[in-house]
């Protein structure tokens, strides 16, 4: 009897052990994505704080307050500083900080500057430098122009005192506050980070600063990101010749590991073939896929190519939403309510193959759920694009432009 008891107890114990082992080793989408990204060379950092920023008003209020409180250093890297009132206010604050002895370094992209309708000119740069602000233009556009097409610096990174960082989709321009006549509201998202992940964003800036300004920044005072919360964050950083494939692999990994749901907002939805295939695989597995695009655009050919791609995805079962109030410039994705990304990367060849880009990858349910809720709010201001609506709304000329444009995906 006793032996029989021990035999049964042993069987039960073994079964419990196996059950617990399987449960403990079951991999969820967030752990799979983090594991894949670590294998690709993306480091993840625990104990961060992150605040999702959903408007230009919120971003500039928070960022300017942090800059005003800076004690040591302010580093800014943008695609462009548009020469308008918000940039003027920023530069006025930076001048005051220089008078207090705070180091100020700024870099912007030459193409990003020249392609906006209110660029910084040489006289503006001379004035800023006369006020002791170190500001540099990356790869200025010079004759014969064509050799300056790629790569461009499309990142948006600000690091303050080495302990607070901002990154996301917003540059420095008034239209993030008031929109534009052409598209109306200019909607975008950004994030504010405190914690060890800030050190990685600072390292990205420092490497680029050395490339552009030929100055090496090694002092530990620039790296003050210390444990400050409970969120795990990785930084995906694309740099030509060193991490060419990182953004493509990152997006493919997120899509291939999705189990329940994927939500995407991205303005220039002209993905490379590998990402398109991952989107199709995702839909074929029965993952609920929601994609939000704009109904208004700031470029002529892009909307036709975007709509060409949307038809393919709608046929696979994706829900596609067209945002009515204006241009949605955000670059975010949420998977299974567990992991999300906010960054500068468009789903086009420029971002995935050529340019400097940076995305924060946040493996945190609360942050992902927050973005999920914001997505749902924006769908209430959007129209669901059905296959029937697509056919009714697309002229023969628009369909041809979309087909022709998709053949040029590698340069869009």
121 carries an active-site annotation:
no
92 carries an active-site annotation:
no
Give whole-number Cα distances, 395 to 307, 398, 399, in Å.
Answer: 12, 5, 6
Catalytic residue among 156, 231, 296, 338: 156
Dihedral class, residue 395 (left if φ above 0, else alpha if ψ from -120 to 50, else beta): beta
As a whole number of Å, the end-to-end CA separation of the chain is: 77
Catalytic residue among 331, 355, 364, 378: 331
- CB contact at 8 A, 359 and 341: yes
156 carries an active-site annotation:
yes
Whose CA is closest to 347, among 306, 290, 316, 286?
306
241 carries an active-site annotation:
no
Catalytic residue among 280, 328, 329, 338: 329
Catalytic residue among 161, 290, 304, 378: 161
Give whole-number Cα distances, 102 to 95, 136, 142, 262, in Å.
Answer: 10, 18, 33, 43
Catalytic residue among 154, 231, 280, 328: 154
214 carries an active-site annotation:
no
What's the sign of the alpha-carbon dihedral 154, 151, 114, 270? Answer: negative
Element (DSSP H or E) covering residue 127: helix 122-130
Structure tokens at 263: 């939500």
406 carries an active-site annotation:
no
Query: 267 CB contacts (<8 Å, ≥6 apart)?
Result: 293, 294, 297, 327, 328, 329, 330, 331, 346
Catalytic residue among 109, 290, 336, 372: 336
Catalytic residues, by residue number, are 154, 156, 161, 329, 331, 336
């Amino acid at each position: 009897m006793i032996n029989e008891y021990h035999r049964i107890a042993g069987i039960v114990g073994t079964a419990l052990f196996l059950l617990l082992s399987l449960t403990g080793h079951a991999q969820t989408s967030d752990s799979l994505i983090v594991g894949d990204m670590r294998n690709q060379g993306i480091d993840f950092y625990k104990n961060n704080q992150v605040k999702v920023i959903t408007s230009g008003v919120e971003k500039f209020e928070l960022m300017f307050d942090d800059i005003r409180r800076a004690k040591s250093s302010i580093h800014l890297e943008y695609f462009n500083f548009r020469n308008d009132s918000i940039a003027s206010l920023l530069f006025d604050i930076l001048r005051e900080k220089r008078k207090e002895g705070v180091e100020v370094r700024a870099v912007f992209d030459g193409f990003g500057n020249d392609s906006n309708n209110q660029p910084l000119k040489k006289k503006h740069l001379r004035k800023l430098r006369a006020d002791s602000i170190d500001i540099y233009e990356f790869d200025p556009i010079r004759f014969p122009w064509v050799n300056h097409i790629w790569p461009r610096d499309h990142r948006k990174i600000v690091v303050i005192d080495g302990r607070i960082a901002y990154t996301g989709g917003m540059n420095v321009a008034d239209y993030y506050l008031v929109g534009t006549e052409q598209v109306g509201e200019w909607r975008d998202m950004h994030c504010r980070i405190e914690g060890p992940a800030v050190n990685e964003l600072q390292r990205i800036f420092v490497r680029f600063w050395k490339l552009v300004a030929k100055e090496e920044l090694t002092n530990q005072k620039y790296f003050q990101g210390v444990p400050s919360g409970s969120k795990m964050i990785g930084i995906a950083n694309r740099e030509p010749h060193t991490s060419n494939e990182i953004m493509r692999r990152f997006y493919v990994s997120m899509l291939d590991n999705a189990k329940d749901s994927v939500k995407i907002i991205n303005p220039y939805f002209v993905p490379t073939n590998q990402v398109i295939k991952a989107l199709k695989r995702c839909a074929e597995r029965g993952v609920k896929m929601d994609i939000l695009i704009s109904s208004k655009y700031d470029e002529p050919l892009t909307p036709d190519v975007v709509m060409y791609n949307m038809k393919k995805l709608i046929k696979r079962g994706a829900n596609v939403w067209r945002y009515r109030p204006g241009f949605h410039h955000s670059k975010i994705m949420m998977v299974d309510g567990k992991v999300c990304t906010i960054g500068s990367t468009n789903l086009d060849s420029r971002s995935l193959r050529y340019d400097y880009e940076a995305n924060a990858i946040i493996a945190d349910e609360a942050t992902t759920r927050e973005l999920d809720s914001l997505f749902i709010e924006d769908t209430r201001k959007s129209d669901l694009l059905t296959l029937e609506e697509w056919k009714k709304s697309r002229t023969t000329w628009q369909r041809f432009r979309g087909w022709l444009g998709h053949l040029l995906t590698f340069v869009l």
